[in-house]
């Protein structure tokens, strides 16, 4: 029996095991939504904007490790997805985005709601498709999921013109994929693996720098074995948070621009940096010339283009981090703690802290939350100072529990990502930590959470402005504070209540324990608004152009 390409699309998604799609309908994607109406297995979550649908899909993907799916109509629907797609791309998150498109005969004529979305997203999708023939749909969906989830994961977009979607085809889901231009390499080169193991065995002051690749390849076990076997301290990148338990004696926490002083110093003193699934981003390395000046560098990454791109690698290994570590482990010798481990313990004494001069500090709120949840929660964040404090002060112990926009730094990410996270792990506590700036970008998603009976906890740091940008202006613009204070902020408690979300506001530290109690106890959504000072800075901080061991406040 013939079915429309739109139905074939839904069937194909079901064949891929998709359970939930986040999206927003419109004219050009009508046929798809019509097919969705009859779908038995597939659940569609209507967000309040397409951007949120993309973020929810990526939050879902980050937490579950599976491909997140979002869809939108042509034109403005598609362009609203763009920020979410770019966010997923920068953090290597597997997402399939489906957009409606105007009919093929109209493409190129600037008709109503036409936009060249494959052209627009080419720079930040792993691949994209404009479907020209209806019978290609099953193959394209299969390829899209394959490309999104294999190799270095990333977003893939499928743009489906309306007339193509309405065309009837014989549905047959392909079993195989032939992509001669796409062959990710998983196994590391044996020779390079031996060289790496030898370098590790000989190193006197090794440091592991664990990136998002450890989380995405599920290599946390191997990472732990390597660290413990050879007594190597482990620093993570922002994306690598959770890959190594931060309560482990070998943990150095996060390194980089707002990293821990001991992580940054350890890397600077080290004679061997083992980068696993990390790309040496500029926020990580500081001034590249001053990065790990005494170290040889082993760089393990699945994407050959990352190797040597930012920092020169002495021992490059292209492959899946998990598999490569498994192999390296076979050749690495067991070691007892050395002088280097003593030195690390020494470095760790010089920790970072904050001044409790105000009635309530954002850092202590996160410390309290960390203590109370003991790392057993999924924490999503928005972007800003609050995000950095979460990275610094929350002790993450499990992979895929810190969900944050790293590479693109997208404000408005956290709340929709929390929604996606909750669909991925309904039984986990999901908490979004946000600033008042970021929160206002996608706060309408509270409605999505309520509508779907999701329990999403929100901790809002209200500093009446854009804290992190203000900090930048303090350092780089001689305190010329330009457009970083909000002249008006709504009553967030009442706002939450209008969404039928219970909420409370606190202003001092005495109220904190009780507030956290309530946050944890609440069954449904809850908003905790914390009044904090906009002049609270994120420290340590490495200034632009400085090497990472030169930190202010560290």
Ligand X SMILES: Cc1ncc(C[n+]2csc(CCOP(=O)(O)OP(=O)(O)O)c2C)c(N)n1
**Chain residues that interact with other proteins, rule: CB under 8 A:** 118-119, 122-123, 126-127, 130, 132, 147, 179-182, 303-305, 308-309
Spatial separation of the C-alpha atoms in residues 282 and 548, rounded to whole Å: 11
Q: Which does 509 bind (CB under 5 to 8 A by kind): ligand X, other proteins, none?
A: none
Residue among 220 and 382 whose Cβ is closer to ligand X: 382
Q: Using CB under 6 A, which of the segments 71-79, 193-201, 236-244, 381-389 binds ligand X? A: 381-389
Q: Smallest distance from the beta carbon of 146 to other proteins, in angstroms?
A: 10
Spatial separation of the C-alpha atoms in residues 332 and 22, rounded to whole Å: 45
Please provide the size of the chain in residues.
554
Cβ neighbours of residue 39 closer than 8 Å, sequence gap 6 or more: 10, 14
Return the residue of 220, 327, 367, 436 that touches ligand X, per CB under 6 A: 436
Q: Bridge-partner residues for 526, per DSSP? A: 457
Structure token digits, residue 429: 């506590």
Residue among 140 and 484 whose Cβ is closer to other proteins: 140
Q: Is there binding between residue 49 and ligand X (CB under 6 A)?
A: no
Structure token digits, residue 388: 């950095």
* Site string (399-418) toward ligand X, x via CB under 6 A: ----------xxxx------
Q: Smallest distance from the beta carbon of 467 to ligand X, in angstroms?
A: 3
Residue among 119 and 513 whose Cβ is closer to other proteins: 119
Q: Smallest distance from the beta carbon of 483 to ligand X, in angstroms?
A: 9
Q: How far is CA 93 from CA 85, 125, 154, 418, 526, in A?
A: 9, 10, 5, 15, 28
Query: Could you tell me where the DSSP H helices lie in 350-407?
Result: 362-373, 385-393
Q: Is there binding between residue 381 and ligand X (CB under 6 A)?
A: no
Spatial separation of the C-alpha atoms in residues 313 and 460, rounded to whole Å: 41
Phi then psi dihedrals of residue 6, to 5 deg:
-65, -45
Q: Smallest distance from the beta carbon of 534 to ligand X, in angstroms?
A: 7
Considering only residues 115 to 154 of the shown chain, the ones binding ligand X according to CB under 6 A are: none
Pairing between β-strand 168-170 and β-strand 2-4 as defined by DSSP bridges = antiparallel
The alpha carbons of the chain give a radius of gyration, in whole angstroms, of 24
Q: CA triplet 281, 351, 341: central angle to 5 degrees? A: 80
Spatial separation of the C-alpha atoms in residues 455 and 431, rounded to whole Å: 9
Residue among 60 and 461 whose Cβ is closer to ligand X: 461
Residue among 88 and 441 whose Cβ is closer to other proteins: 88
Q: Which does 179 bind (CB under 5 to 8 A by kind): ligand X, other proteins, none?
A: other proteins
Q: Smallest distance from the beta carbon of 227 to other proteins, in angstroms?
A: 30
Phi then psi dihedrals of residue 435, to 5 deg:
-95, 165
Spatial separation of the C-alpha atoms in residues 416 and 60, rounded to whole Å: 10
Q: Is there binding between residue 384 and ligand X (CB under 6 A)?
A: yes
Q: Is there binding between residue 469 and ligand X (CB under 6 A)?
A: yes
Residue among 237 and 276 whose Cβ is closer to ligand X: 237
Q: Is there binding between residue 4 and ligand X (CB under 6 A)?
A: no
Q: Which does 386 bind (CB under 5 to 8 A by kind): ligand X, other proteins, none?
A: ligand X
Phi then psi dihedrals of residue 461, to 5 deg:
-90, 105
Contact (CB, 8 A) for 282 and 416: no
Residue among 150 and 270 whose Cβ is closer to other proteins: 150
Q: Using CB under 6 A, which of the segments 30-38, 159-167, 460-468, 515-523 binds ligand X? A: 460-468
Phi then psi dihedrals of residue 526, to 5 deg:
-155, 140
Q: Which does 435 bind (CB under 5 to 8 A by kind): ligand X, other proteins, none?
A: ligand X
Return the residue of 12, 463, 537, 549 that touches ligand X, per CB under 6 A: 463
Pairing between β-strand 456-462 and β-strand 503-506 as defined by DSSP bridges = unpaired
Return the residue of 379, 424, 466, 541 that touches ligand X, per CB under 6 A: 466
Residue among 415 and 466 whose Cβ is closer to ligand X: 466
- List of residues contacting ligand X (CB under 6 A): 382-386, 409-412, 435-438, 461, 463, 466-469
């Amino acid at each position: 029996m013939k079915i429309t390409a739109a139905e074939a699309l839904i069937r194909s998604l079901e064949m891929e095991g998709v359970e939930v799609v986040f999206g927003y309908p419109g004219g050009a994607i009508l046929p798809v939504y019509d097919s969705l109406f009859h779908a038995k297995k597939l659940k569609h979550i209507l967000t309040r904007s397409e951007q949120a649908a993309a973020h929810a899909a990526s939050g879902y993907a980050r937490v579950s490790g599976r491909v997140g799916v979002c869809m939108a109509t042509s034109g403005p629907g598609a362009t609203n997805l763009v920020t979410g797609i770019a966010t997923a791309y920068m953090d290597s998150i597997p997402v399939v985005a489906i957009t409606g498109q105007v009919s093929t005969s109209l493409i190129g004529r600037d008709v109503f709601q036409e936009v060249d979305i494959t052209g627009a997203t080419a720079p930040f999708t792993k691949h994209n498709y404009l479907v020209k023939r209806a019978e290609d749909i099953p193959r394209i969906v299969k390829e899209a999921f394959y490309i999104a989830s294999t190799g270095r994961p990333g977003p893939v977009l499928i743009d489906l013109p309306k007339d193509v979607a309405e065309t009837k085809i014989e549905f047959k889901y392909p079993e195989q994929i032939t992509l001669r231009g796409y062959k990710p390499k998983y196994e590391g080169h044996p020779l390079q693996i031996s060289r790496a193991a030898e370098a590790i065995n000989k190193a006197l002051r090794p440091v592991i720098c664990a990136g998002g690749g450890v989380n995405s390849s599920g290599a946390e076990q191997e990472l732990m074995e390597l660290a413990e076997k050879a007594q190597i301290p482990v620093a993570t990148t922002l994306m690598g948070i959770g890959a190594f338990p931060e309560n482990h004696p070998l943990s150095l926490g996060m390194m980089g621009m707002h990293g821990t002083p001991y992580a940054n110093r350890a890397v600077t003193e080290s004679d061997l940096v083992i980068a696993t699934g990390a790309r040496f981003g500029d926020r990580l390395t500081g001034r590249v010339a001053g990065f790990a000046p005494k170290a040889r560098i082993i760089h393990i990454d699945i994407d050959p283009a990352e190797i040597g791109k930012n920092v020169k690698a002495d021992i490059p290994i292209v492959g899946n981090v998990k598999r490569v570590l498994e192999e390296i482990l076979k050749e690495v010798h067991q070691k007892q703690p050395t002088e280097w481990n003593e030195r690390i313990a020494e470095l760790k004494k010089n920790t970072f802290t904050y001044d409790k001069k105000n009635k309530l500090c954002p850092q202590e709120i996160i410390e309290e939350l960390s203590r109370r949840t003991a790392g057993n929660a999924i924490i999503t964040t928005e972007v800003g100072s609050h995000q950095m404090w979460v990275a610094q002060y929350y002790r993450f112990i499990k992979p895929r529990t810190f969900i944050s926009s790293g590479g693109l730094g997208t404000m408005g990410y956290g709340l929709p990502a929390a929604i996606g996270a909750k669909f991925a792990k309904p039984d986990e506590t999901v908490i979004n930590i946000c600033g008042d700036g970021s929160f206002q970008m996608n706060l309408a998603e509270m409605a999505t959470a309520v509508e779907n009976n999701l329990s999403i906890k929100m901790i809002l740091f209200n500093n009446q402005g854009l804290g992190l940008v203000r900090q930048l202006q303090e350092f780089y613009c001689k305190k010329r504070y330009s457009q970083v204070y909000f002249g008006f902020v709504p009553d967030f408690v009442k706002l939450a209540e209008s969404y039928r979300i219970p909420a409370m506001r606190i202003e001092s530290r005495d109220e904190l324990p009780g507030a956290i109690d309530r946050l944890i106890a609440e069954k449904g959504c809850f908003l905790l608004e914390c009044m904090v000072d906009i002049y609270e800075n994120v420290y340590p901080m490495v200034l632009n152009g400085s090497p990472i061991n030169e930190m202010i406040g560290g």
